[in-house]
């Protein structure tokens, strides 16, 4: 690249597919699409597309979310799997009693059976490694919890099933959602929490979920116990945070005959974290001495009208803004009117 030229590779322009899904090094990668260039001087360069690409696939780390406490009525059963979420790859989860347990209390797979004696029981959680192709190189790592779950066995009633009742389970980025539940018993308050394992991001304040990044978030509700009822948790629910549709951007400018003009495009339209394509002229093509260009490094849109461009004529410039993490693709439309050149210029 010639010193001073503004050109760079558009990282979003290409993706690759591994030869298979299994852990390993020097694994073949097939690119989809081609590397493309961006920048004010991109038209002066071409890209030599790479060949024989390889990459490495490493094992997925398990980091499940574990509810540390629960309560169950004597002489009843409890599904321990409700206390563990975010296990990847559908790996096997096991529960083991550590130390003493109330008489008659036992575990069979995911089910805790409480005896007729009150007390507490400590339970550890383990997630087995998962080897998809049986080569002793697991694709999903094993996990052993470092802190035990404490389950209290007492005489309080179990609440009826609690569920998050919002339907559909969708929300648009930038639009808060009030969460709702059905079921449960007693006077205990309902709280909500976001669990690990989603691809998006959100915050919860009270019962209001505020999306922070498009993708998915996993939400669980908990209804507290009271004098006669044990605490109850809902099954985790996946909410989809959909990308927002950006409001239409239509802008009017004036530019003088024969004078270089620049517009701080990304700052003007708050597009700092968006990728903007090269501008297109839809009307008024013959008014320009220098066609509109967008500099991705500075964020400026530049152009120049001809010396004899007719005052009052307009040109329409459109810039396509690529889909981003939280917004769908949209168009910025700028209508530029030719103004009289400055006195003494030309």
Q: What is the DSSP string of 170-212?
A: EEETT--EE--EEE--SSPPEEEEEETT-SSEEEEETTEEEEE
For residue 273, the model assigns a pLDDT of 85
Instruction: Let me know if 51 is exposed, middle or buried by CB neighbors in 10 A (0-12, 13-18, 19+).
Output: exposed
Rounded (5°) CA angle 268-274-276: 80
Count of CB atoms situated within 10 Å of the CB of 137: 14
Q: What is the pLDDT of residues 217-252, one digit of tens each?
A: 999 999 999 999 999 999 999 999 999 999 889 999
What pLDDT score does 11 carry?
Answer: 67
Q: What percent of the chain has pLDDT over 90?
A: 79
**pLDDT per residue of the chain (346 residues) written in tens, 0 to 9:** 888 888 888 766 578 899 999 999 999 999 887 788 877 788 899 888 888 899 999 999 999 999 999 999 999 999 999 999 989 999 999 999 998 999 999 999 999 999 999 999 999 999 999 999 999 999 999 999 888 999 999 999 999 999 999 999 999 999 999 999 999 999 999 999 999 889 999 999 999 999 999 999 999 999 999 999 999 999 999 999 999 999 889 999 999 999 999 999 999 999 988 989 889 999 999 999 999 999 888 899 999 999 999 999 999 999 999 999 999 999 999 999 999 998 765 5
């Amino acid at each position: 690249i010639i010193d001073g030229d503004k050109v760079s590779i558009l990282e979003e322009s290409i993706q690759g597919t591994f030869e298979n899904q299994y852990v390993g090094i020097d694994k073949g990668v097939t690119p989809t699409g081609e590397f493309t260039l961006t920048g004010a001087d991109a038209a002066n360069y071409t890209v030599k597309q790479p060949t024989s690409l390889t990459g490495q696939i490493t094992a997925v780390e398990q980091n499940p979310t574990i509810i540390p406490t629960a309560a169950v009525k004597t002489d009843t059963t409890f599904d321990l799997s409700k206390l563990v979420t975010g296990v990847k790859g559908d790996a096997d989860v096991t529960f083991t009693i550590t130390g003493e347990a109330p008489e008659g209390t036992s575990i069979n797979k995911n089910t805790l059976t409480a005896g007729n004696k009150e007390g507490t029981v400590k339970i550890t959680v383990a997630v087995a490694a998962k080897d998809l192709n049986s080569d002793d190189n697991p694709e999903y790592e094993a996990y052993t919890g470092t802190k035990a779950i404490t389950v209290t066995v007492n005489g309080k009633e179990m609440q009826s099933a609690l569920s998050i009742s919002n339907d559909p389970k969708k929300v648009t980025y930038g639009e808060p959602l009030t969460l709702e539940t059905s079921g449960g018993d007693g006077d205990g308050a309902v709280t909500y929490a976001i669990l690990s394992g989603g691809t998006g991001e959100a915050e919860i304040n009270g019962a209001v979920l505020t999306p922070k990044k498009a993708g998915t978030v996993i939400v669980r509700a908990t209804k507290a116990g009271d004098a006669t009822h044990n605490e109850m948790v809902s099954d985790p629910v996946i909410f989809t945070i959909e990308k927002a549709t950006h409001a239409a951007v239509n802008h009017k400018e004036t530019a003088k005959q024969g004078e270089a003009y620049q517009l701080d495009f990304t700052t003007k339209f708050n597009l700092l974290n968006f990728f903007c394509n090269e501008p297109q002229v839809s009307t008024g093509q013959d008014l320009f001495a220098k066609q509109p260009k967008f500099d991705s490094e500075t964020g400026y849109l530049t152009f120049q009208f001809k010396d004899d461009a007719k005052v009052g004529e307009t040109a329409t410039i459109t810039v396509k803004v690529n889909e981003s993490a939280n917004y769908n693709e949209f168009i910025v439309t700028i209508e530029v009117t030719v103004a009289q050149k400055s006195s003494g210029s030309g």
